[in-house]
Chain A
Amino acid sequence: MGKVAREMVEKAGIDVDKLIKLLVDNAAAELTTFYYYTILRVNLIGLEGEGLKEIAETARIEDRNHFEALVPRIYELGGKLPESMVDFHNMSACPPARLPKDPTDIKAMLKVLVEAERCAVRGYTAVCNLTAGKDHRTYALAQAILHEEVEHESWFSEFLGEGPSGHYLRRGETSPFVAPFMR
């Protein structure tokens, strides 16, 4: 734990134990999403699934990166991950992004994907709201993750015909915003 790192956040008036819970719950959402997106991605086959593969793969890896980036901050603040991975799964801030009953229903798959990203956008907005101006390090991390989650949402939303996202594909690189937190 970073003793003074935690003290500074407490001194700013944040309930650090609540913040830790929020970070652990969001970390759980990231790792479980990585798992469920793996299943979704392998089922993106055929003509309709082909177009979604790249963004599904990028979102999947970036969500895993988000988990990696969150872990050090959780421990810096004096928190920890649960010993049981089952408990960790069930703590997830977002519902499991399960494969639709009909795995060939690409539209249903997209709805699962976009809802997962929307939950993440709300989750990191909540962390940013809580920490803005008070916990500069967590705020910076949450903001970086938020940037990427907003892009994930926009990719899937665009496929659903909800309007242009304005974003370009990553084309190979991942986590342009979160990478500095993973060194």
Chain B
Amino acid sequence: MSIRIFTMEELRGYDGRDGRPGYVAFDGIVYDVTDSWHWKNGNHWALHDAGRDLTCQIEGAPHTGEMMRRLRIVGKLKKS
């Protein structure tokens, strides 16, 4: 099965708002947060938005990247 590769521009379209699916990238993997309670309307705890690469933001987060394992993988992020 082929894995979808997302560009940053494509990822931005999945911001979880107005009924759109919400995807986030972390460490090169793209995850689906659409149905996650923690990502309502594409926003996580007022501080993080879907449609973005959150790799750098994990440092200030109160959890590790292990938390991403709870999410469904939908693809990979194209390396810039």
Contacts and interface: CB of A to CB of B under 8 A. Distances in A.
B3 interface: no
B46 A21 contact: yes
A126 B62 contact: yes
Interface string A151-176: 00000000000000000000000000
Majority secondary structure of chain A interface residues (helix, strand, loop or mixed): helix
Interface residues of A, number: 18
Given A90-B40, A95-B37, A25 B45 contact: yes
A93 B67 CA distance: 16
A25 B60 contact: no
A123 B45 contact: yes
Contact of B45 (A22, A90, A95): A22
Interface of A: 18-19, 21-22, 25, 90-95, 121-123, 125-126, 129-130
Given A18-B47, A94-B37, A123-B62, 20 more contacts: A18-B46, A19-B46, A21-B46, A22-B45, A22-B47, A25-B45, A25-B46, A90-B40, A91-B40, A92-B37, A93-B38, A95-B37, A121-B62, A122-B62, A123-B45, A125-B62, A126-B61, A126-B62, A129-B60, A130-B47
